Amino acid sequence: MELKRELEKAATRFQRTMGISVDQYAILHNILENPGKLTSATVADSRGISRAAVSRGISQLIRRGYVEQSYKSTDRRVRPLSLTTSGKQLEIDCHEALEKAARVMSTAQLATDHETITDDTEVD
């Protein structure tokens, strides 16, 4: 339960700091890795979540100017996704924030592990 609470707090801090949810960041990252190749359906399939949930996330990212949809001339139903310049910058900023958080968590875990080992090896 402690880990779940910590992860929820971290996700809330991330959203407050970056202005998007962790799920929206994952969408941005997928699009950055595959520019012009993904649609909302392929993002949903690759992430294993509902198309409706991905569609809502993408719609919010489009409204905020981070993602663009284009139309294929052969099939107007297919709308490939790409990041705008601000979307690319936001993905970079989010990635850096996540890397920093991972380093902090790793350092904290090492300190906890060290403390545990030290406590276990002390002789009374």
Query: pLDDT below 50 — which residues of the chain?
Result: none
| Tokens encoding 88 | 């690319």
Q: What is the pLDDT of residues 21-53, one digit of tens each?
A: 999 999 999 999 988 888 888 999 988 889 999
| Tokens encoding 55 | 């569609």
Name the residue range of residue 112's domain. 2-121
| Tokens encoding 57 | 């996330």
Say if residues 84 and 67 touch (Cβ distance below 8 Å): yes
Q: What is the CATH number of the domain that holds 52?
A: 1.10.10.10
What integer pLDDT is reported at residue 46 of this predicted model?
A: 87
Q: Which of 30, 64, 62 is nearest to 44 (CA)?
A: 30
What integer pLDDT is reported at residue 63 of this predicted model?
A: 97
Q: How far apart are CA 36 and CA 49, in angstroms?
A: 21
Question: Rounded to two decimals, what is the model's pTM?
Answer: 0.76
- CB-facing half-sphere around the CA of 19: CA atoms within 13 A: 11
Number of structural domains (the chain) is 1
Q: How far apart are CA 40 and CA 57, in angstroms?
A: 9
What integer pLDDT is reported at residue 110 of this predicted model?
A: 55
